[in-house]
Structure 1
Amino acid sequence: MSPSRRIILRRRRLAVASVLLVVLGGVGYVGATNLAPVPESAATIVQPASLTQPVAALTWPAFGSSAIGAVGLPGVLASSGDQNTVPIASITKMVTALVILDAKPLGVGEAGPNITFTDADVDIYYDVIAENGSAAPVVSGMVLTQREVFEAMLLPSANNYAASLAVWAYGSVDNYLAAATTWLADNALTQTSVADTSGISTASVSTPADLVEIGKLVVGHPSLAEIVALPSAVLPVIGTITNTNKLLGRDGVDGIKTGTTDVAGACLLFSTDFIVGDNTVTLVGVVLGGDTHSELNSAISALIESVQPGFQDVVLTEEGAVFGSYTTKWGDVSDIVAARAVSALVWSDSPISGSVTATDLQLGRAGDDVGEVSFTIGTGSPVTVPLELQDSVTDPGPAWRMGHPGELAAG
């Protein structure tokens, strides 16, 4: 072969090799750019504005000490007057009832076991009469159900039935008092102390805040809530007994317990329900130290009327409310929206704050979860709502991928 022929063949081989290298490189480039992950897009977040409601304007009694709370909301919502410990008279019987039910449970509507009264119970009756306490008749040998004895203790506020129940449940009043001390500690009622079963002792004391918590426990106990709501009952031997709580049925009041001594004054631990939006609010309150129960009841009626407007059903977010967005490097845009509407019961001017978190996003379909918005109301537990993509974020396609290799590498 001539030298010129060899040169031509060499040149052809080089040309073919170059073309193959270019083709292979192009295939590799196309493959790399089309298989590489797209870059993540960080969320642009819109934090919710703080929400505020008007301050509740409450009509407090002009005497004594008072406090209100609501089932499901922590602690005391508002209070007035001296909040230190004071004698609580027959409201003490609600502690007696709760502690006895701890040892001898009673279901809603149940009669419970029979209790046979003896000469010892007759002696208790005369002891109560001698100390000028409230009492209901008792006859040796008579038999009442547990529920009927509770009714005798709580409706006419019979001190003798409180003591007889404690002896039946715990063997002696002293054993009961030891159990009550433990029960109070277990329920974090550290400002409450009971020295007897009835509250005639001035050493049976509590604070308005503790009494609100005791009231919440009572309304949360179905059988006990049922009993304290009775205006009257008819019992064997005893006959008709009438609830000392004359506020029952007024302003929705359905409990809980009166108390009256010269030292404590006229007192009432009360409960009532009312509707706020989609919520049923169970209000628990206490007023201590009235001169008369007539004065006390009028003051509580005015207080309840002023409390109800202080509760608001506040919309925290509407479904589809925007809390941010994603904008990809290839131009796709999607809002970050609330997956559902949520409202909450809010008392007075309890502060409402919100916080949004959202993940970085590569690709996603409309409706995918991408984060959450969490609302905190006062000192309560957060209310959390899922956040989702409003629109799909799709792959940018080959053209964008091949035109932006550096951005793919960054991803």
Structure 2
Amino acid sequence: MSHQIAPAPTAAGPDSSGSAHRGSGADAERRRMYRRRRLVVFGALALVLALLIGGVTYVSNALGTPVPAVAAATTVPAPVAQPPQPLALPGFGEYAVGAVGFDGVLAASEAQAPMPIASIAKVVTALVVLGAHPVAAGEGGPAIAYTDADVDIYWDMVAQNGSVAPVAAGTSLSLTQSLEAMLLPSGNNYAISIANWAFGSEGAYVEAANAWLAEHGFTETTIADASGLSLANVATPGDLVRLGQLALTEPALAGIVAQQAVDLPGVGRVENSNKLLGSHGVDGIKTGTTDDAANLLFSADYAVGDSTVTVVGVMLGADTHAQLREAIAALLDSVAPGFHEVTALEAGVDLARYSTAWGDVASARTADGASVVVWSDTPVEVSVEAEPVTTADAGAQVGVATVRAGAQTIEVPLELDAPIDDPGAWWRLTNPGALAATQPAG
């Protein structure tokens, strides 16, 4: 008989399979819950970290970004102009009148054709000779020995009815004294003698003189001799005004033409042929007389405020010297009141204002005053330029006010009356939009 052995039951019993399934499901749920918690925690930590990093970056950028530049609101003074000055103009010949430091001429005749200038040509002689043989102010310069040849020149000029000054063979005069003998009594003989001494001959002088005229831009002036005796010595009034202004810059020449008379050794006393000298402000320059006309290249000084204005003019073609003097006196008396000293700016005037987004306020003020001397109705205008500012100390120059009147220009610095400071950390942190405006695009 065979025996069968039954399998032993498991320890779990008949229901162990169901219990196992329930246990595995609970563990999985717990694991999912832990994962969710970890995601929440790490997400929160990541968010906090991101916020911290972003905050640090924002703070760093806010504190390190330059503050925006502040543009100024400017105030421009209105132009100032006087009424036009009426002038007493001559009813004859040609004329022009200007002033040193003023562009062009103040008044001129409609006609401006070259006319004979007679002994005004001696001004060219003096300038050209002094250019070749300079003489310092107050000095006599080189000596010139006069001989029988110079005496012959004297008598030749007398024969031609030219103006002369005495000369004696064997005498010696300095160049300055020789120029005095030429310019004051308008000695034709001394003009020729000086030209011969300086250039070897009058012809060589004429060549040098016309080259000098071209070099200095006197395109409407022609020199034919040293004395002015020839009617071929011609110039326009405009050229002669410029010539007179140039003559006054030569100290030796300016000193000579302002003298009423001088005593010269071997010559005697010579007097200035300019009879207007010392009246109506006149202090120069040179007469010129032809058989048909009286001419005068003149200068006059006038005090205007704290300045002195030098007027230079010329009249050509008067019938007589009496008519010429009367016309020039009337013209000068009408010209002088036409100069005005205008205070264009006072010191300490606010011309620009800065207002920052963080509350700082400062004005840009003129550091100095500015005055100009103007002629007639010349307008005085002021322009204002003020630079944008980020931060600046009180007293810093932030711009310039420019005064313009004709050819004159004066620049006056503009300085801050108060500081413009950095706005500080709090304003930077709380005004991101204002700071963003200062950042480059891209």
CA displacement, residues 56-100 of structure 1 (integer Å, 9 cap, x when unaligned): 111122322222111122221212353221111111110111011
Return the letter of the residue paired with 2:430. Answer: G
Q: So what's the TM-score if we normalise by structure 1?
A: 0.92
Q: So what's the TM-score if we normalise by structure 2?
A: 0.86
Return the letter of the residue paired with 1:287. Answer: M
1:216 Cα deviation after fit: 0.7
1:258 Cα deviation after fit: 0.9
1:9 Cα deviation after fit: 9.1
1:211 Cα deviation after fit: 0.9
Q: What CA distance in whole angstroms lies between the structure 1 residues aligned with 2:32 and 2:437?
A: 52
Return the letter of the residue paired with 1:329. Answer: A
**In the alignment, which residue of structure 2 is the partner of 1:74?**
103
* Counterpart mapping for 1:176-215 below 5 A: 176-215=205-244
1:101 Cα deviation after fit: 0.6
Matched, 1:256 2:285: yes
**In the alignment, which residue of structure 2 is the partner of 1:297?**
325
Q: What CA distance in whole angstroms lies between the structure 2 residues aligned with 1:218 and 1:101?
A: 11
Q: Which moved more, 1:22-31 or 1:399-408?
A: 22-31
Q: Which moved more, 1:87-96 or 1:312-321?
A: 312-321
List gaps (5 residues or longer) in structure 2. 1-30
**In the alignment, which residue of structure 1 is the partner of 2:116?**
87
Matched, 1:382 2:418: no
Aligned partner of residue 230 in structure 1, secondary structure = coil
- Partner of residue 228 from structure 1, selected from 239, 257, 262: 257
Return the letter of the residue paired with 2:354. Answer: Y
Q: What CA distance in whole angstroms lies between the structure 2 residues aligned with 1:367 and 1:215?
A: 46
Return the letter of the residue paired with 1:399. Answer: W
Matched, 1:393 2:385: no
- Partner of residue 379 from structure 2, selected from 339, 348, 351: 351
Q: What CA distance in whole angstroms lies between the structure 2 residues aligned with 1:5 and 1:211?
A: 110
**In the alignment, which residue of structure 2 is the partner of 1:46?**
75
Return the letter of the residue paired with 1:80. Answer: S
- Partner of residue 37 from structure 1, selected from 66, 78, 82: 66
1:3 Cα deviation after fit: 11
Aligned partner of residue 337 in structure 1, secondary structure = strand
1:301 Cα deviation after fit: 1.9
Return the letter of the residue paired with 1:138. Answer: V
Q: Indicate if the aligned counterparts of 1:108 and 1:223 stay in contact, CA closer than 8 A.
A: yes
Return the letter of the residue paired with 1:97. Answer: A
* Counterpart mapping for 1:302-341 below 5 A: 302-341=330-369
Return the letter of the residue paired with 1:110. Answer: E
Give the alignment's Cα RMSD to 1 decimal: 2.3
1:214 Cα deviation after fit: 0.9
Q: What CA distance in whole angstroms lies between the structure 1 residues aligned with 2:171 and 2:422?
A: 85
CA displacement, residues 383-410 of structure 1 (integer Å, 9 cap, x when unaligned): 2222232322222222221111122121
Return the letter of the residue paired with 2:363. Answer: D
Q: Which moved more, 1:211-220 or 1:349-358?
A: 349-358
Aligned partner of residue 394 in structure 2, secondary structure = coil
1:119 Cα deviation after fit: 2.0
CA displacement, residues 87-131 of structure 1 (integer Å, 9 cap, x when unaligned): 111111101110111111111111111111122212211211111
Q: What CA distance in whole angstroms lies between the structure 2 residues aligned with 1:37 and 1:113?
A: 71
**In the alignment, which residue of structure 1 is the partner of 2:12?**
none
Higher gyration radius (CA)? 2
Return the letter of the residue paired with 1:383. Answer: I
Q: Indicate if the aligned counterparts of 1:352 and 1:375 stay in contact, CA closer than 8 A.
A: yes
- Partner of residue 147 from structure 1, selected from 176, 200, 203: 176
**In the alignment, which residue of structure 2 is the partner of 1:116?**
145
Q: Which moved more, 1:284-293 or 1:100-109?
A: 284-293
1:7 Cα deviation after fit: 9.1
- Partner of residue 63 from structure 1, selected from 88, 92, 96: 92
Matched, 1:408 2:428: no
Q: What CA distance in whole angstroms lies between the structure 2 residues aligned with 1:309 and 1:397?
A: 59
Aligned partner of residue 331 in structure 2, secondary structure = helix
Q: Indicate if the aligned counterparts of 1:366 and 1:391 stay in contact, CA closer than 8 A.
A: yes
Q: What CA distance in whole angstroms lies between the structure 1 residues aligned with 2:37 and 2:254?
A: 108
